[in-house]
Chains A and B, each alone.
Chain A
Amino acid sequence: MTAPNTAKRTVHLGEAENTLISQLLSAGARGAADELAASGLPTRRIEAYHYTDLKALLGEVPAIAEEAGQVGPPKFRVPGAYRILVANGRIQQSTTPPNGVVVSEAGGSSLTERDDVLVMLNHGLVEKSLAIGLENSVDPIVHIDHRIAGAPAHTAGALRIEVAPGATATVLETFSGSDAAHMGNQGTRVELGDGARFTHIVVDLSALNSRHFHTIEYAVGANVQLRNLLVNSGSALSRTQMFGVFAGEGAHGDFSGLNLVDDGQHNDITLDVNHAVPNTTSQELFKSVVRNRAKAIFQGRIVVSPKAQKTDAKMMMQGLMLSEGAQILSKPELEIFADDVQCGHGSTCGELDAQSMFYMMSRGIAREDAKAMLIRAFVQELLDPIEDEELSEALSGVVEEWLSRPAKSPAI
């Protein structure tokens, strides 16, 4: 009589895992190396990576980045912003910070340890993280310009943003680099003091053959107004995972994101919002536009803790598919333990509305122009809340650049 086999299967480690293990070991992170050796990279059997099977998708891991040489001009520029250039994980240049901004460095990763391979790698590989203190209301946008320069390189970086109680600020993080198969693993932790008003814009413009991973944490204090916007148009493989925790009453968070995905790209946005205290609200709006053979993934979870009465959370995911071979995979989740709440989510996907197309074409607008207009209208809802005009224009530029990329497979 044999009982069903419950023994754990031994993990077969691939080349990528072995490279990562040796990189962790040379960084002195034995614990992380052992853990990775025991579990391997997550496969689709790990729920959080259900649609992004890192083991199958990661590919070759390049060597740890050396000191960067010459870096080119920024791909994304907002006039008047205070820019800090971080190349290959090291602060490269920065001018005197504006009033209220304190720039410093701290040891190790800024992220909270959690059961996640990207966070574990970040902890194992980051030696020094950048810390930005926003001590009172800061007028110019603070732009952290992350680059990977030169030959294919693996960089791990971390940033801590601390917003003082009552302060108002906008931080922009952009990711770009040379045209090589890089791998970037960034961590950002944002701590928001009570009553802070904070806008966080993250733009990924990495080379189309690179891999980009970004973990963002938000610790939200009481009466905070948080707005975040993610715009992805780069990378062959990317995953941006956000963990927001509402720890003070009266706070509101707007989480939003735009995945612009084209041939061969696989872009994953994963969001976890935890309403841990009563009287907090959040609104989540994520959109994907997919063209050619590409994949856009959105996983969003809203958790309402037992004590978090009067939570109001609404999550919306909308996908637009422009051609054969496009895929939109989404998993909006609700996990509710309190009864006096209003929570909901919606998810839609489909192609451009045939009636709207017909309407415009019947009025003499060419098919391609009509399509572009509808796509612009679809994404505009995300850009509208951005108050800074220069920033809003720069973000529109990302959409325009994506629209103007040459079409590959026939549209439908």
Chain B
Amino acid sequence: MPAIKETVEHVEELEVEKYKYGFKSDIESEVAPKGLNEDIVRYISAKKDEPKWMLDWRLEAFRRWQTMTEPTWARVHYPKIDFQDLHYYAAPKSMSAPKSLDEVDPELLETYKKLGIPLKEQEILAGVEGARVAVDAVFDSVSVVTTFKEELAKAGVIFCPISEAIRDHPELVKKYLASVVPVSDNFYATMNSAVFTDGSFVYVPEGVRCPMELSTYFRINEPNTGQFERTLIIAEKGSYVSYLEGCTAPMRDENQLHAAVVELIAHDDAEIKYSTVQNWYPGDKNGKGGIYNFVTKRGDCRGKNSKISWTQVETGSAITWKYPSCILRGDGSRGEFYSIAVSNGYQQVDSGTKMIHLGKDTSSLIIAKGIAAGKSDNTYRGLVSAHAKASGARNFTQCDSLLIGDACGAHTVPYIESRNATAVFEHEATTSKISDDQLFYCQQRGLSDEEAVALIVNGFVREVLQNLPMEFMVESQKLIAISLEGSVG
């Protein structure tokens, strides 16, 4: 198949040089000594000017972490991580709370420009309906600047770095932090609880429809630092919020660790839409370097008729270990999971979701698309379960995998557990390459091999892309194109 051959060649050609975010900004930064111990936890807490209760909470988490072992069940292989050989805190030095963008280090702004966050443009666009995005940028471990705070405040929406929320809204943080992902949930979540450095906090009050898309960019800049961000989003009764995170990391030889925790809480009739575009550095053509992305994301549909929707486009990271989940606790609540996972080179992806049906008449939808190329392994791992009291639960799951080249692997590991007779679960999965018939059909109508492959791959992921906020759909399409250059137009 010439088109396939060409695609494979293109994929092979795709080397480090093409990692467009592979630049390193020379910004003076403040780094904590390597290693993880109680002193580091205290150091981070002190740096963040945290109240005592937060420090105690962190120390408790740290002590628990010491008794835990790394999970080994995922289908990923990597040399043992030396957790003592990492920096757990790095902050750009020049940025003690800039008042406006003008005060921000120009080089930092340059970094944003390269990242493609049009911060300045956003301001200009501020008055334009429907084109507004509030950005909370986390650079290494510290939130740099939050735009649109004022307008959000007018609507009653709190959108700030979590460190600020700990200071200014302790009652909310105390009430909700770790209420979805318990401190001792898993090895990486516990570690995150001990050392998380920043992240976003969103609180949408009752009945408010957040007037704009909220967005955060994460970037790991300092070598050997882990980025441990913590995000907490609370949607009160009848509210709506859409949140997007984008992640990049500069090119590095050594593996960097990223262990984030994201918690979403949706009360009665509330809706949270959480979208991720992740293109951390995937490592070079020999599988050297890259980010280890070990993330715990979980949403709790706590109220009646609440809804949480996860959309993810995963193109980066050497290793991805990530299962954005929904606990469907409220009667009539709904969980959705749309995912595109693209792996190339030596990338390893083990990702999926959990839909845990607890309430009555809950429903969930899972659409997962995996594209494996090069020598990568792409695994979908998911759980759909109905509790004995979850009568009328409904799930539909579709996992499709596309293989490009004969050296990659695509795997599907779903767990389907029905403990209620009235629950109806449907799961289907397929794995194939781009079929000759489809290609022939397109070619017959005058498309070149290349265009035909592009058309088919675009069609393959379309269902998921459509669920991204408009502003980020184009970026995601570009990302997939970069990751699989040659096969996507």
B interface with A by C-beta (< 8 Å) = 35, 37, 65-70, 73, 83-84, 187, 388, 401, 403-433
Can you offer 6 A-B residue contacts whose CB atoms are under 8 A? A1-B37, A324-B421, A341-B403, A341-B432, A343-B432, A345-B429
Closest B residue to A291 by beta carbon equals B421
Interface centre among B66, B73, B83 (most CB of A within 10 A): B66
Of A47, A329, A349, which is within 8 A of B423 by CB?
A: A349
Chain A neighbourhood of B409, CB < 8 A: 335-337
Chain B residues positioned under 8 Å from A319 (CB to CB): 418
**A325: Cβ under 8 A from any B Cβ:** yes
Complex interface bits, A156-187 against B, C-beta within 8 A gives 1, otherwise 0: 00000000000000000000000000000000
Which of A's residues lie within 8 Å of B, judged by CB?
A: 1-6, 47, 50, 306, 309, 319, 321-351, 412
Contact yes or no, A326 B416, CB < 8 A:
no
Contacts of A349 in B (CB 8 A): 416, 418, 423-425
CB distance from B437 to the nearest CB of A (A): 11
Partner of B416, one of A1, A331, A336, A339: A331
Instruction: Point out the residue from B404, B417, B421, B427 that lies within 8 Å of A321, measured CB to CB.
Output: B421
The distance from the CB of B387 to the nearest CB of chain A, in whole angstroms, is: 11
Residue on A nearest B412 in the bound complex, by CB: A334
Contacts of A325 in B (CB 8 A): 388
User: Which residue of the partner chain B has the closest CB to A339?
Assistant: B403
Min CB–CB distance B30 → chain A (angstroms) = 23
Apart from A4-B187, A319-B418, A324-B388, what are 16 other A-B pairs with CB-CB below 8 Å?
A321-B420, A321-B421, A324-B421, A329-B416, A331-B414, A334-B401, A337-B408, A339-B406, A340-B406, A341-B432, A342-B431, A344-B428, A344-B429, A347-B425, A348-B424, A348-B426
- Bound CA–CA A327/B414 (angstroms): 16
**Is A350 in contact with B406, judged by CB distance below 8 angstroms?**
no
CB distance from B475 to the nearest CB of A (A): 29
**A contact residues around B425 at 8 Å (CB):** 347-350
Q: Assess A339 versus B417: contact at CB under 8 Å? Given A4-B65, A344-B430.
A: no
Q: Which residues of A contact B422 (CB under 8 A)?
A: 350-351, 412
Contact yes or no, A339 B433, CB < 8 A:
yes
Please report the C-alpha to C-alpha distance between residue A321 and residue B388 in the assembled complex, in whole angstroms: 12
**B404 — which chain A residues lie within 8 A by C-beta?**
339
| Top 6 A-B residue pairs of the complex, sorted by shortest distance between their CB atoms | A321-B421, A350-B424, A339-B403, A344-B430, A334-B412, A347-B427
* Residue pair A333, B411 in contact (C-beta under 8 Å): yes
The docked-state distance in angstroms from the alpha carbon of A336 to that of B426 is 22
Instruction: Evaluate contact between A333 and B413: CB separation under 8 angstroms.
Output: yes
Check A338/B406 contact, CB under 8 A, given A347-B427, A412-B422. Answer: yes
A295: nearest chain-B partner, CB-CB:
B419
Residues of B within 8 A of A339 (CB): 403-406, 408, 433
Q: Which residue of A2, A5, A332, A334 is within 8 Å of B69 (Cβ)? A: A5
List chain A residues, Cβ under 8 A from B418.
Answer: 319, 321, 327-329, 349-350
Say whether A3 contacts B83, CB under 8 Å: yes
Residue of A nearest to B416 (CB): A330
Contacts of A47 in B (CB 8 A): 73
Contact A332 B429 (CB under 8 A): yes
**A102 CB to nearest chain B CB (Å):** 42
Interchain CB contact under 8 A, A323 and B421: yes
Instruction: Assess whether A1 is in contact with B69, with CB atoms less than 8 Å apart.
Output: no
- Of all chain B residues, the one with the shortest Cβ separation from A297 is B417
Q: A1-B84, A343-B431, A345-B428 are in contact. Are A335 and B411 (CB under 8 A)?
A: yes
- Complex contacts, A50 vs chain B, CB 8 Å: 415
Residues on the B chain within 8 Å of A335, using CB: 409, 411
Min C-beta distance of B143 to chain A, whole Å: 29
B190 to chain A, nearest CB (A): 10
Q: A286 vs B161: C-alpha distance in the bound complex, in angstroms? A: 51
Once bound together, how far apart are the Cα atoms of A330 and B431, in whole Å? 19
Distance, CA A326 to CA B419, complexed state (A): 6
Cα–Cα, bound, A146→B341 (Å): 50
- Residue in chain A with minimal CB distance to B405: A339
Task: Determine which of B83, B410, B424, B427 lies in contact with A346 in the assembled complex, contact meaning CB atoms within 8 Å.
Answer: B427
In the assembled complex, how far is the CB of residue B403 from the closest CB belonging to chain A, in whole angstroms?
4
CA distance A319 to B416 in the complex (A): 11
